[in-house]
Structure 1
Amino acid sequence: MPTALAALEEAYARSGAPAGNRPDGRAPVVGYVGSDLPVELLTAAGVHALRLTGDPGSGSAPGDRYLGRGVDPAARSVLTRLLDGSFGELDRVVVSHDCEASLRLFYALRELGRVEPGAGLPEAYLVDLRHLPHRTTTRYNRRRLGEFAARLETWTGRALDLAGAVAAHDERRRLLAAAAELRRTVPARLTGRQFLAVVNAALPVAEHVALLRRLLAEAGRLEEHPGRRVFLSGSDHDTPHVYEAVESEGQVIVGEDHSFGDLAVEGPVGAGGLDALAEHHHRGGPAAHRATAGERAAYAAAAVRRCRAELFVAYCRAGDEAPAWDFPAQRAALDIPAVLLERQEYGRVDLAALRKEHPCPM
């Protein structure tokens, strides 16, 4: 039997791949985009959920045509993959309003469905959550979640088991938080690339939970990973390419502030109702597109201390400039070296610039 880590890495390699055959032949397959999408509702509805990711190694000309090259290339790549059928048969695509690129993607999908029905794109649905620090925002989000829950019941013809879904996702978050501690040890027992696999393995929640329990039970047998400890801030990383490049140079990414990493395991929902779910997704983590510079700087300072990082790297893709605005405040809040890498190509990192600013001791 493979180790739990090997099984999680294998499942991660399938992330963004076609959904495959439906186990019961009936349950809808729903692709989703967005860091604040309430995945608990998808689980509660019994659908097969697939987080849609881009592919830096493929072209994005069709997505560029409809979205324009000024939009984050990750969103353009997702649209391209939807147009060419890379995700297999999807019944619906659900998009959250976590950033401007996601919203632009939703509008493109909706309009393409209207004017080019022959393109075969699935129906798109927007979950328009907001993150302003007001109680009225929470009430707005509660209404949007209620509408989404009702729509899911219409799609599936079944009542939602929200309490069971919230409990399952909270248990997964608890186990992921314990796994995050494995790379905060010195030396790290997980690399950043491995942690991406642990968090984003393409598995149903119950199977993911079972593998996470095995991983923690096998923690004493995990390999140690010495090297300069890096905290990675900025753009989301829906693929492992940048992590692999950074870690190929004798560094280990021990923390980050994006939704495919540490921010995916922030806190439990607790109660199993829509009110608690609205509160949880209103709070969220300090992602670059919804938190203030001060909030991002405070989080960075605390997270760097917690994971004992030695270098802070702010990575910003071309077309995703918002994270760079926070860098001055982050740098001022830190007591370790910090470097800003701007206008990076999707899935790539300028290692020459990183070496020039902060050579890695070998």
Structure 2
Amino acid sequence: MLDELLQVAGDRPAAAHATGLPVVGCVGADVPVEVLTAAGFLPLRLAGDPDAPSDAGDLILGRGVDPVARSVLTCLLDGGYGPLAALVVSRDCEASLRLFYAVRELHRTGDGAALPPVHLVDVLHLPHRSTTAYVLAKVRELRAQVARWSGHDVADDALAAAVAAHDRVRTLLGRVATLRRVRPARLSGMQALAVVAATTALPPDRAAELLDGLLAQPLPDVTGTRVFLTGSSHDHPGVYAALEQAGLLVVGEDHDWGDLLHHRRVDPPPDPALLELAIAERYQHNGPTAARASMRQRAAHTAAAARACGAEALPAYARIRDDAPRWDFPAQRAATGLPAVLLEHQPYGRVDLDAMGALRAEVAA
């Protein structure tokens, strides 16, 4: 099952289209995928490609924007994701918002004829009841928009079934995460990253089937210096591969292509009338990501997660044009008490391993 999940992760758009379902591209982890699944769509989370030129995205967004957003826009313009029924963008960071505005403007000017219709989901993460009400309104707006795209209402029972299916995937991913926390680990960080990515390109029932098979599969030991990776998100395995080839085993992380994608479930209440509210609260309180949470929240979460993983060191990776992780690092280092290093201004999909030398020496001492 691991091999099949890794194969899906290697070409997620192809796997998504192979299902025969109409595919909706999703940008960011704040998109309520349950609504799309309930309407009969397959939500495909879009990733960039650091190994491909992003000239079109650079021209439209400017090179001052996170290279991930520029790469995603380039792939959209080039048709690299295959035919998309629609595009849903979450305001998970400023770069995603800029991407949405760019696609909307291309539609307005007539230059976006090849682009799918686009909708923005503005999920806020403040711990207030007024924020919950706002996010609930955004969930309902998405539900209405999805109904227009599909040509039929999103039925309550279909939404409840979709919530249950996605919650099951999240539960299973939580169990998969323990495979790299045990000693010795049974899954590398790069493998775990690929497994999570694969589930974002499959119907939830199929993803759950493969995850069940993975959990029942005997796996070999994986060794290395155990590190908890904080900082920028990783939609590409390049950084994990480089770290683990250098002898560092990524046993956990706090970005939304990894553990943060699945650590909170919807857990719907018995009253079906409150299901939309439960979805809103799940996305409101999900995180904490570097772009949307306070330094105190990030430090507390990182410290607890690193302890749970048995991490021996804390590398903080800050991608170029993604400055939020740099502000979090001092508090995270103090809260974890681990040997730590800040890797600043890193190129998309790559890491400067020379800067890791001092960290490895400190751990060895």
TM-score normalized by the length of structure 1: 0.94
2:191 matched residue in structure 1: 194
The C-alpha deviation readout for 1:83-103, integer Å capped at 9, x for no partner, is: 111111112110001110000
2:43 pairs, out of 38, 43, 49, with: 49
Query: How far did 1:159 drift?
Result: 3.1
1:212 matched residue in structure 2: 211
Give the Cα separation in 2 of the matches to 1:342 and 1:42: 37
Give the AA of the match of 2:195: V
Matched, 1:158 2:152: yes
After superposing the two structures, state which structure 1 stretch, 192-201 or 340-349, moved more: 192-201
After superposing the two structures, state which structure 1 stretch, 257-266 or 10-19, moved more: 10-19
The C-alpha deviation readout for 1:19-54, integer Å capped at 9, x for no partner, is: 53672xxx5321110121111111111102211110
Written as runs of structure 1 = structure 2, the 5 A alignment for 1:1-362 is 4-17=1-14, 19-20=16-17, 23=20, 28-117=22-111, 119-160=113-154, 161-201=158-198, 202-218=201-217, 221-271=218-268, 273-359=275-361
Q: Secondary structure at the match of 1:117?
A: coil
Give the Cα separation in 2 of the matches to 1:171 and 1:35: 17
Does the 8 A contact of 1:18 with 1:86 survive in 2?
Answer: no
Query: How far did 1:15 drift?
Result: 2.1
Query: How far did 1:267 drift?
Result: 2.3
After superposing the two structures, state which structure 1 stretch, 108-117 or 66-75, moved more: 108-117
Consecutive unaligned residues in structure 1, runs of 5 or more: none
Q: Secondary structure at the match of 1:346?
A: coil
Give the Cα separation in 2 of the matches to 1:131 and 1:72: 21
Give the Cα separation in 2 of the matches to 1:6 and 1:95: 30
What is the root-mean-square deviation of aligned Cα atoms in Å? 1.6
Give the AA of the match of 1:348: R
Q: Secondary structure at the match of 1:326?
A: helix
Does the 8 A contact of 2:253 with 2:259 survive in 1?
Answer: yes
Give the AA of the match of 1:297: A
Query: How far did 1:18 drift?
Result: 7.9
Distance 1:6 1:250, change over 3 A: same
Matched length: 354
Does the 8 A contact of 2:135 with 2:284 survive in 1?
Answer: yes
Q: Percent identity?
A: 54
Give the AA of the match of 1:228: T
Does the 8 A contact of 1:75 with 1:102 survive in 2?
Answer: yes
Give the Cα separation in 2 of the matches to 1:83 and 1:117: 10
